[in-house]
Structure 1
Amino acid sequence: MRAELPAKERPDFHALVAAGPVAAAAAVALTALLPVLAQRESWAPRLLALACAAALAGVHLTAFAHGGVRRPGLALAAQALLGYGPMVQLGALWSAAGGFLAGGLLLVVRPARAVPAAGLVCVGAGLLAAWAAGSVDAGLAGAVSAGIAALALSGVGAAVRLTAEREEERRELKRDAIAEERKRFSRDVHDLLGLSLSAITLKGELVDRLVIGQPDRAKEELAELLIMSRRALADVRTVAAGYRELSLDDECRAAAAVLSAAGTRVTVARSGIADLPPEVATALAAVLREGVTNVVRHSTASWCAFSVSKEDGTAWLEIVNDGAGGPADGGTGSGSGLRNLVDRVESLGGTLVAESGADGTHRLLAAVPVGCGGVRRHRAADELTA
């Protein structure tokens, strides 16, 4: 299954999320500033409140709005100074500014410690407000306003941080999906077109030899070459469309035809494969294509026998030839083709083994469980490695 890529980016949404901390910091700063501007007639406390409110908002946005800073302790100290220091002159009107320190604690300290610490900060703001105003009601209002401000700042900051993490995860999924699609395309081009192009090459060479001495035979071979080329074109289209289901029966006939055209004596045995699941049949067909392609390209085989069957819940494919010793006969780890086949087979819980015998034969054996039971899977693996 391939991951679905998003149809388009949503810059408006991300801009809105990025603007959240600015709006929250501005709102809390105004919550602390407006009471001072409304109830103090002198310009000195007003200017003090304006400067401190701007500084508090700036420190918060710089330090905590986008994931924190290297030294959050300095930012917290600045928030404590700007949040509590002006209360000496501004009194209970400035109590909401304590929410900046509490919000910063909630954003940078672990929750187990941040929650009680932020609570103490809000209580402290309430106590200072009560002392400055000489009223319990003023203290209670100060603690509540500081708590609300802390929740607003920490909530928006946490939302932005979570959004950034999800965006990075989405980008990682997109990169993985692109890499997987490239891998699939490369694998399918190799697996699906290798045999077809080898067959076309062989037929072309044969036609070149026959065109002068046996023109009628050359016409017959040329007609078969055209059929093979059309099939290769169809394979290219299936790769581009991502549709990769193969017919195992068709591949058996095509493999036999290619081997015969290469002058290799062929023996084919098929039994019980009519009801194989499509994914199993496609995997075995791909193995057959690559195995026969290697026989044609890289071996000196005079005969090749392959068989496909189903037994005890496992589908088997075996390819044996007498041309071992070529560069493609090094086992399942040599060549991208066999590595691709190992990936295909193992993704279905199967096993692929390639080995050369002392008598000069080469054997490629694949087993894929038709069901999904673990017992069958392990049994197939044990039989292959026995």
Structure 2
Amino acid sequence: MALLLRIRRLRAEKERAVIQAHEEFARDVHDLVGHWLWLASVKSELAYRRAAGDARLRGDLGEALQAVRHAAHAVRNVSTIHRQLSVQGESMRAQTLLADLGADCSVQVDATGLPQEVSAALGAVVREGVTNMLRHSTVRTCVIELAEHEGLLRLTVTNDGVPGRRPQPSTGEGLGNLRDRMTRVGGAVRVTAGEDGRFNLIAEVPQKFPE
């Protein structure tokens, strides 16, 4: 029993150390990158105004300005995101971000009663799923759903992928990290991709949690 308690304590200490390292890294990123993103935003805004007579150039600059603003917003809030990672919070952030980019995102998530560790693990799944869909697809519709399924709590992040091309499931470090996080809370994660271009990131955990 004493050995088991020691192992649990060591695991908790390791988790706290990892979280602290993430927060310190986030603050460094904010300090180092934030200033340059702000300068890029100012310069892009100035160029956008000067391009009033060139509709095509103005359109390109407008897209660049929007991208810089999104990046600046993400850097500005990255420390908070690391400290307060939750499935509810990440789902709401995803809905706002995708709406800003012209995509329709439906969120059906009720995280009432979820242990913080489980909510954080599922939140990481949402964040990774949205990051991947923005990198690898032209997302038009997205559904984020948390529901009971055969005695499990299932989180599904679905998007419509790239029309005319079947999306390839990621096997990179991001998915491996998600599998590690879900394993620590007794769950699992997997991906599926259909011929119609739809891509699903699915995470499942037991519905009953230890006291």
1:257 aligns with 2:96: yes
Q: Which residue of 2 aligns with 1:295?
A: 133
Secondary structure in 2 matching 1:308 = strand
1:53-202 to 2 correspondence within 5 Å? none
1:309 aligns with 2:147: yes
1:351 aligns with 2:188: yes
Name the aligned partner's letter for residue 264 of structure 1.
A
Change (3 A) 1:356 1:185: farther
Secondary structure in 2 matching 1:3 = helix
* Aligned 8 A contact 2:104 2:141 in 1: yes
- Within 2, Cα distance between the matches of 1:246 and 1:298? 24
Between Structure 1 and Structure 2, the one with more strand by share is: 2
- Within 2, Cα distance between the matches of 1:183 and 1:285? 15
* Aligned 8 A contact 2:122 2:155 in 1: yes
Secondary structure in 2 matching 1:352 = strand
Change (3 A) 1:344 1:225: closer
Cα deviation for residue 260 of structure 1 reads 1.9
1:336 aligns with 2:182: no
Cα deviation for residue 225 of structure 1 reads 6.6
Q: TM-score of the superposition, structure 1-length normalised?
A: 0.37
- Within 2, Cα distance between the matches of 1:338 and 1:297? 14
Secondary structure in 1 matching 2:205 = strand
- Within 2, Cα distance between the matches of 1:368 and 1:231? 28
Cα deviation for residue 223 of structure 1 reads 8.0
* Aligned 8 A contact 1:322 1:360 in 2: yes
- Within 2, Cα distance between the matches of 1:254 and 1:227? 11
Cα deviation for residue 208 of structure 1 reads 4.3
* Aligned 8 A contact 1:299 1:326 in 2: no
1:275 aligns with 2:100: no
The one of 61, 72, 80 aligned to 1:234: 80
Change (3 A) 1:363 1:224: closer
Change (3 A) 1:275 1:302: same
Cα deviation for residue 251 of structure 1 reads 1.1
The one of 6, 10, 13 aligned to 1:3: 10
Cα deviation for residue 254 of structure 1 reads 0.5
Sequence identity, in percent?
30
Cα deviation for residue 363 of structure 1 reads 0.8
- Within 2, Cα distance between the matches of 1:227 and 1:301? 21
Cα deviation for residue 274 of structure 1 reads 1.4
Secondary structure in 2 matching 1:266 = strand
Structure whose CA Rg is larger: 1
Backbone CA RMSD of aligned residues: 4.2
Cα deviation for residue 301 of structure 1 reads 2.1
Q: Which residue of 2 aligns with 1:318?
A: 156
- Within 2, Cα distance between the matches of 1:234 and 1:275? 22
Cα deviation for residue 256 of structure 1 reads 0.8
Cα deviation for residue 312 of structure 1 reads 6.5
- Within 2, Cα distance between the matches of 1:266 and 1:184? 32
Cα deviation for residue 314 of structure 1 reads 3.1
- Within 1, Cα distance between the matches of 2:18 and 2:88? 28
Q: Does 1 or 2 have the higher relative contact order (CA < 8 Å, sep 6+)?
A: 2
Change (3 A) 1:265 1:208: farther
Change (3 A) 1:263 1:372: same
* Aligned 8 A contact 1:355 1:362 in 2: yes
Name the aligned partner's letter for residue 230 of structure 1.
R
Change (3 A) 1:359 1:225: closer
